[in-house]
A and B are shown apart, each in its own frame.
Chain A
Amino acid sequence: MVSILSNPLATPSQLLANQTEADGVPSSLSKSLLWAGSTLIQSAGILLRLPQTTIATAIVLLQRFYLVRSLRSSPLLDSVHAAVFLSSKLTEHPVKPRSLINVTTYLQHCPSPSPISPVSDNEQALQDPDSYFVSEHEYYAQRTRMLDTEAEMLKAFGFQSWCALPYTLVLNYAQALDCLDESLVRRAIAYLNDALMAPSLVFLTHQPHMLAVAALYLAARSEGESGGGSAKLPEGWWEVFDVEREELGFLVAVFEGAAKFVEEQTGRWKRRGGKGVPWDLEALEEELQFHG
């Protein structure tokens, strides 16, 4: 029985036994790679015109997957593909494997504001469509790996593919608090999208209602600061939604920290010049050797 409003959460032991780190990948690198994967999903999802629920589900699936699998055994790019593919099916917006692979290849080779592209400074690449052309051979190879990873994912989840998201709850809670206001909700949803990228994996450790409350809290606060004239929320309102002060405090810290983390990571990969995120195993091994 799955509740519509709650998720299966990561257990402390799962969080402690990080498979990737057990495999000798430094913690900072593994966090960074997971973030890069999430960013790639987010960007690809936008290009594929997927709704944010599909994108967010894909990111959560990717994070869940790497909770129990290692980056050194499951290549990041294939997992990204599989996560998007699976989530697109789960949320009834199926994408074609070909479109998906085209889009991620394009994103890896084209300058973009996000640092996932290794040649961001190279204007030549933009002119040259060949750089992101996926040959039939390459497509088949990637698709096979994607589908293998998809099956791996389903098995890793025990087919527990349900993923409850906090987006609609934000609307609900704002309505309940009588502060339903477009800019407020927009901001809250933006905070939630930030949190998807946070290294603390709050979507795996906290139920959607907590995330919704934290996002709403932050949104209301920043709206108030910016003088947006939003309604004053009653004292201790989060308790009505079953969130304790400490939890809220933690989540707020995570949500706020997400921006900083993303900036750090952007810088980290930007500085690399021509070298990009190690999407496949080979590149990852190289990266690991490079760092000793």
Chain B
Amino acid sequence: MADPLVGLVLLPLGWATLAFVLGPGRGAWAALAGIAAQAWLAWLLAAQVGAGGTARHAVGGWGAPLGIDLAADGLSAALLLLTQWLALGVALYARSYFAAGDPARRYFWPLAGFLLAGLNALFVANDLFNLYVTLELVGLAAVGLVAAAGGERQIAAALRYLFAALAGSGLYLFGVALVYGVYGTVSIATLAPLITPEAPRLVWIAGGLMALGLVVKSALFPFHFWLPPAHGGAPAPVSALLSALVVKASFYLLLRLWLGPFAPLAPAAAWLPALLGAAAIFWGSWRAIRAERLKPLIAWSTVAQLGYLFLIFPLLAVPAAFGAGVMQVFAHALAKAALFAAAGVFIQATGQDTVAGLAGAAARLPVTLFAIGLAGMTLAGLPPSAGFLAKWQLIEAALALGHWPIAVVALAGGLMAAVYVFRVLRQAFCLAPAGAPVAAVPRALEWTAFALAAASVLLGFFGVDLMTLIEVRA
């Protein structure tokens, strides 16, 4: 594949189709080979962007605004790198997770392939309408994965998720329609110089609707209602993909539009997302502290951790704030994938999903428990984890601008995260009730969970490289 930009979209589309043709439950090897190749392509792309600046590809050779352009700057390249490598870990995990006859496995590989294709296409898209199509690719694939072979609870959660996703993309599409009406183009690069603070009122409405739609899709408080049942009810590998990557995709798009074409209008609303983000941190953490079952606890923690992403909007005048946002995306993605993977190990081992059921896990599943500890370190923001770097940069940016309440919220959120992580760990070190059965778990599950958690901590040592990459701006 000559151009990694194109290969990252075509490869998953190809292996997803192949996996479907091969038949229900098959295609794991095609998927693993495909994702490994994508991981390598993402690496090439990151090197290319780091050395030579933004990579571009004019589909059809027409060029914007008539055709559709693909582009990857540092931010896109970084997220593509995260997506492929995290997906590689989750795919290895999923291969061992689903038993041979598990009905949830029948269409897992093709749906996961289309999900990855949608994510990659979203990260390289540079055209508002094409972005709408990629949003729907991601949204429908995610809903399909939640619903697959589910019981009543999962189907109801999937339906709720679908309506939220459709409302979000509907709002976004309406905004795009208004933008096309005003400017006659949907190419981001063409729009950027056209939108000024004196733009017609319609552009403000369009920007507001698109932002609202993306916020609904990112599950920002108070639009988080669909997330805990969907992420808490799906099979563990699906929850990992959804919590780690899917909600980040709409956040990425919001950030890209906010800093890009809509930058002249954006400062007017910067405090609103931050306010909602702060509310998300407190409400999500509180629900996680109170949760009875393990996967809903992790899902509520996602609601809280997503809140940090929105704290950066009033601080974007300082470069550290942008870095803090990206670092938080990375840290949370890796830590949350590790936590859901570890939760899957416990569910397979003990056959139940309650926090109380973790008693005695310390002795029986030490590797998985260690994974939870490491991922918990990242969520609570302890050094030297990537989560620590994210919060450090956030607090630094907040203090530089004198917005100390944001720093207080970040610190309090870290403390609350420590409480719910500690609750899980303390329970795991309790003595097991005598005779509680523990099934054997494939070792690949334990070690992939551990690898993801370790990555979320070790990334802290590579913060400088990541920050250098994302400084490459279009």
User: Do A and B share a complex?
Assistant: no
Q: Which residues of B are interface residues toward A (Cβ below 8 A)?
A: none
